[in-house]
Amino acid sequence: MKATLRFQLAVITLAAIAAAWFRALPPILTPLFYFHPPNWTDADLVRHLWHFRLIQPEWVSNPPQYDYLCWAQAETPARLAVVFLGWLGGVTWLSQRHLRWRKITPPNAAAPGNGASMFLCHVGRQRRTAPEPNRPAFNDAHR
pLDDT-based confidence at residue 132 (cuts at 50, 70, 90):
low
Longest dimension (CA), the chain: 109
Query: What does pTM read for this prediction?
Result: 0.63
* Nearest CA among 111, 42, 113, 96 for reference residue 71: 42
Cα 6 to chain centroid distance, Å, stands at 12
**Which residue type does 94 have?**
L
Element (H, E) at 72: helix 68-104
Which tens digit of pLDDT belongs to each residue from 95-114?
Answer: 998 888 766 656 666 555 55
Which tens digit of pLDDT belongs to each residue from 34-93?
Answer: 777 888 888 888 888 888 889 988 888 877 777 888 888 899 999 999 999 999 999 999
Yes or no: say if 81 and 33 are a contact pair by the CB < 8 Å rule.
no
